């Protein structure tokens, strides 16, 4: 009997304020390869996908979702933004 996996959401379904919210473009990384996913602002509901410096592809929302899940299965990881280090003020006596 196959194990049931909990469905993993896609980053563009998260809203600002959610714990897993990330701004665009969403970057997937595997080794030295990068894949960028961003919304198509001119054609609502569509997305652009681009690998490294290759040609940018236009995908429907469903295609983008399926492609995202396949890339995760192939070992790509969603890159999270680096946190900025906050300098703590020095306390002098």
| CA torsion through residues 64, 68, 74, 78, sign | positive
Question: pTM here?
Answer: 0.74
Structure confidence by residue, pLDDT tens digits, 15-63: 777 766 678 889 999 999 999 999 988 888 899 999 988 999 999 999 9
Beta strands across the sheet bearing 46-51:
57-60, 46-51, 33-39, 26-30, 77-78
């Amino acid at each position: 009997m196959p194990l049931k996996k909990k469905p993993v959401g896609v980053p563009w379904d998260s809203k600002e304020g959610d714990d897993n919210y990330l701004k665009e473009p969403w970057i997937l990384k595997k080794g030295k390869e990068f894949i960028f996913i961003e919304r198509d602002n001119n054609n609502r509901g569509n997305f652009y996908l681009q690998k490294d410096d290759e040609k940018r592809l236009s995908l429907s929302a469903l295609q983008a979702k399926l492609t995202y899940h396949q890339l995760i299965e192939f070992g790509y990881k969603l890159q999270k933004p680096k946190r900025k280090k906050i300098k703590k003020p020095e306390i002098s006596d």
